[in-house]
Amino acid sequence: MIEVKNVTKIYQSGNVETKALKNVSFVINKGEFVAIMGPSGSGKSTLMHILGALDTPTSGQYFLDGQDVSKLSDDELADIRMQKIGFVFQSFNLLSRATVLRNVALPLIYTNTTAKERDEKAKKALASAGLTEEHWHHLSNQLSGGQMQRVAIARALINNPAIILADEPTGNLDTKTGEIVLFSFQDLYEQGRTVVLITHERYVAEHAERIISIRDGFIESDEKVKHRKQLNNHI
Amino acid sequence: MNFRNLLQEALSALTANKARSGLTILGIVIGIGSVIAMVSIGQGASGQIQASIESIGSNLITVSPGFAAGGAGGVRMARGSATTLTVEDALAIAEQIPLVAAVAPEISRRYQITQKSLNTNTQVIGTVDTYPEIKNIQMESGLFISEQNFASLAKVAILGPTTRDDLFGEGVNPIGQTIKINKISFKVIGVTKAKGGTGFGSQDDMVFVPLSTAQRFLSSDEYVTSISVQAADKKAMAQVQNDITQLLLAQHNISDPTLADFSVINQADLVQAATQTTDTFTMLLASIAGISLLVGGIGIMNMMLTTVTERTREIGLRKAIGAKKKYISMQFLAESVMLTFLGGATGVILGWIISILISRFGGITTEVSLSAIILAFGVSAAIGIIFGYYPARKAASFNPIEALRYE
């Protein structure tokens, strides 16, 4: 499903070389809920950019859905992102003056769809993300943080992506709202979707079923979560 | 990404900041509006001059005498003062040149004219029956000179409306009354319709008498002061002008065309010379207005650059969800073209209103032409593309990772 093979990423600024990732390899299967965990500077953001086809590795290979993404051009990467990846960001990145429905349908305007099709798909995605119908016509800046993040999750779902990539999705939320958003991801996992969660908090990572710990560009550990935090076992 | 989606996205981006979009559009509105208004003034002036030249007669070619050549190195008199043209020349033109519709020789000179106690000094024109047709003269009452009058050397006169007013007073019917030109009595048989005296001397202050009568009793010679020729149509003008020159050279036994004792003036040349002046004037006005359009364009670029910087994160997001470079640049280009297009449309309306107000209250004829409107739209769209291109390219070149991190 996702295969990262000997991936190395080197940033060059002037004469200084920074090795952000050093020979990283792992596999994520379809339907897994994986947390990539590490402190800041560990290389997890770089890894997220490569997994999200926003960047390409300096060496090594990255297979997404059986396709080698590591050597593609900018426009080809844009196509991969459109078809196979759904992003959820820490700061939501919604268009503030647009309605919830328009925000969710945003990725579809770059495809050949009619306004009606976009509306239908957006409503379906919003239902999957668990945002109730009363908010669908609100402007996104009228929503609470938790609601905004669910709009962002719906936007990530709209193209039915192979992988949902969440970058610190609870970073801007209070603990309780963060929990609700994390349960939304668990819900997506129950629906059979592949979810990759990037975080620096063990507590957040433990909502996933597997944690890949990364430090100084290496994989430190890769293990199943023994006691997964779930809605019904700790509230 | 289809065209409809592109327009929707651009429109919603522009309406997100209405005040800024409105102010930016204003720059283009003023630019296009002043171009339209200025060009309308120029074209109005040009149209007016053309109309007044054409009111003298349509498809008109005028033959005038040349210099009175006083032999080699002799003292020359003013052009037109020579007595070289005769009625025979006019007859030859009428008979021998095809594509000529009508020919009217004339003598004109100023005389003192009296009627009882009133008198005036005005132009007396001795001519023939074809004159009104060539010079667009219509009769208000009575008749013009007839062939019969010409043949019989009749002492009859036709008055222009201004001359009638001067000699008889306004509204008086002078037909049947007698006037004295150079102390010779003439019977008034008609009054011409007013043409309105715009430039080139009033055609309303004139007296017409038969050419034969004028030659016999007033000028006492067989020469004419000019011959007016009407060509069959506009296209024949150049041909007829050329034919007349050749014919008169032969008639006057002159072999070297540079020594011709007459000149042939084409009305079209006159119109061209006049419109050339107004065209220059129009260009000047338009280029002054064009400067404000340029400033408006820079305003567009300024706004688009600000917008691109402000929306860096949005651009990052759009790239992250799969927008290719060209879609991003198309979107920003669509925004700037939409701004200038809206500004252009409003500017055309504004310019039109201004030109109507100028002609209503300023007394200047204005003319908004379709070509000016099309040009204004073209120019405003081009400004959108030219001044929107750089900001759009800048937006498209953003790295999505850095754009998403932008604070």
B231 lies in the same domain as B179: yes
Tell me whether residue B371 is in a domain.
yes
- Picking from B260, B290, B317, the residue at the C-terminal end of a domain is B260
* Residue found by looking up tokens 């010409």 in the block: B150
In sequence order, what are the beta bridge partners of A154? none
| pLDDT at site B272 | 81
When CB atoms are compared, the residue of A75, A81, A91 closest to B320 is A81
CA dist., res. A40 & res. A46, Å (int): 11
B237 lies in the same domain as B284: no
Nearest 5°: CA angle at A133, between A128 and A134? Answer: 145
When CB atoms are compared, the residue of A93, A97, A111 closest to B313 is A93
For an interface test with B, the pick among A109, A121, A153, A198 (most B C-beta atoms closer than 10 Å) comes out as A109
When CB atoms are compared, the residue of B314, B327, B401 closest to A110 is B327
Give the distance from residue B306's alpha carbon to the nearest chain A alpha carbon, in angstroms: 17
Tell me whether residue B126 is in a domain.
yes
When CB atoms are compared, the residue of B12, B322, B401 closest to A49 is B401
Task: Find the domain containing B370 and state its range.
Answer: 3-52+273-405
Tell me whether residue B79 is in a domain.
no
Give all domains of chain A, ordered by start, each with its CATH number. Answer: 2-234 (3.40.50.300)
Tell me whether residue B70 is in a domain.
no
B114 lies in the same domain as B186: yes
B44 lies in the same domain as B143: no
* Residue found by looking up tokens 């500017």 in the block: B347
What is the predicted ipTM?
Answer: 0.92
Residues in chain B: 407
B176 lies in the same domain as B296: no
Tell me whether residue B266 is in a domain.
no
Alpha helices (H) along B138-266: 147-151, 161-168, 211-213, 237-251
CA dist., res. B191 & res. B157, Å (int): 9
Report the half-sphere exposure of A11 (CA within 13 A, side-chain side).
10
pLDDT in tens, A169-213: 999 999 888 998 999 999 999 989 999 999 999 999 999 999 999
SS3 content of chain B, % helix, strand, coil (to 5): 55, 15, 25
Tell me whether residue B13 is in a domain.
yes
Tokens of B155: 């002492």
B151 lies in the same domain as B277: no
Tell me whether residue B377 is in a domain.
yes
pLDDT in tens, chain B (407 residues): 788 888 888 998 898 889 999 999 999 999 999 999 988 988 888 888 877 777 777 788 989 887 655 445 555 555 555 678 888 899 899 899 888 889 999 998 889 999 988 888 888 999 999 998 888 888 989 999 999 999 999 999 999 988 898 899 888 899 999 999 988 999 999 999 887 654 445 678 899 999 999 999 988 888 898 999 998 888 888 889 989 999 988 888 888 888 888 888 888 787 788 878 888 888 898 888 888 888 999 999 999 999 999 999 999 999 999 999 999 999 999 999 999 999 999 999 999 999 999 999 988 888 888 988 998 888 899 999 999 999 999 999 999 999 998 87
pTM, two decimals, is 0.73
B310 lies in the same domain as B393: yes
For an interface test with A, the pick among B3, B20, B315, B321 (most A C-beta atoms closer than 10 Å) comes out as B321
- Picking from B206, B228, B260, the residue at the C-terminal end of a domain is B260
When CB atoms are compared, the residue of B5, B12, B321 closest to A87 is B321
Question: Which residues from B are below 8 Å from A79, CB to CB?
Answer: 322, 324
B341 lies in the same domain as B308: yes
Q: Do B313 and A49 touch (CB under 8 A)?
A: no
Q: Do B321 and A52 touch (CB under 8 A)?
A: no
Give the distance from residue A97's alpha carbon to the nearest chain B alpha carbon, in angstroms: 7
Question: Which residues from A are below 8 Å from B323, CB to CB?
Answer: 78, 82, 110
B255 lies in the same domain as B350: no
| CA-based nearest residue in chain B for residue A95 | B314
CA dist., res. B332 & res. B384, Å (int): 10
When CB atoms are compared, the residue of A49, A82, A93 closest to B317 is A93
| CA-based nearest residue in chain B for residue A139 | B16
| CA-based nearest residue in chain B for residue A107 | B321
B16 lies in the same domain as B121: no
Q: Do A52 and B320 touch (CB under 8 A)?
A: yes
CA dist., res. A131 & res. A150, Å (int): 6
Torsion over CA: B346, B352, B354, B356 (sign):
negative
Closest CA to B62 of B85, B95, B96: B85
pLDDT in tens, chain A (235 residues): 899 999 999 998 888 999 999 999 999 999 999 999 999 889 999 999 999 999 999 999 999 988 999 889 999 999 999 999 999 999 999 988 889 999 999 999 888 888 899 999 999 999 888 888 999 999 988 999 999 999 999 999 999 998 999 999 999 999 888 998 999 999 999 989 999 999 999 999 999 999 999 999 999 999 998 888 876 544 4
B254 lies in the same domain as B278: no
Q: What are phi and psi for residue A181, nearest 5 degrees?
A: -65, -40
Question: Which residues from A are below 8 Å from B9, CB to CB?
Answer: 109
When CB atoms are compared, the residue of B12, B313, B322 closest to A81 is B322
Count up the domains in chain B and report the number.
2
Question: Which residues from B are below 8 Å from A98, CB to CB?
Answer: 12
B243 lies in the same domain as B287: no
Question: Which residues from A are below 8 Å from B319, CB to CB?
Answer: 78
Tell me whether residue B184 is in a domain.
yes
Give the distance from residue A112's alpha carbon to the nearest chain B alpha carbon, in angstroms: 6
Q: Per residue in B104-118, is it b (16+ CB within 10 Å) or e — as a string?
A: bbbbbeebebebeee
- Picking from B234, B260, B286, the residue at the C-terminal end of a domain is B260
| pLDDT at site B73 | 52
Closest CA to B157 of B204, B207, B205, B107: B207
Question: Which residues from A are below 8 Å from B313, CB to CB?
Answer: 91, 93
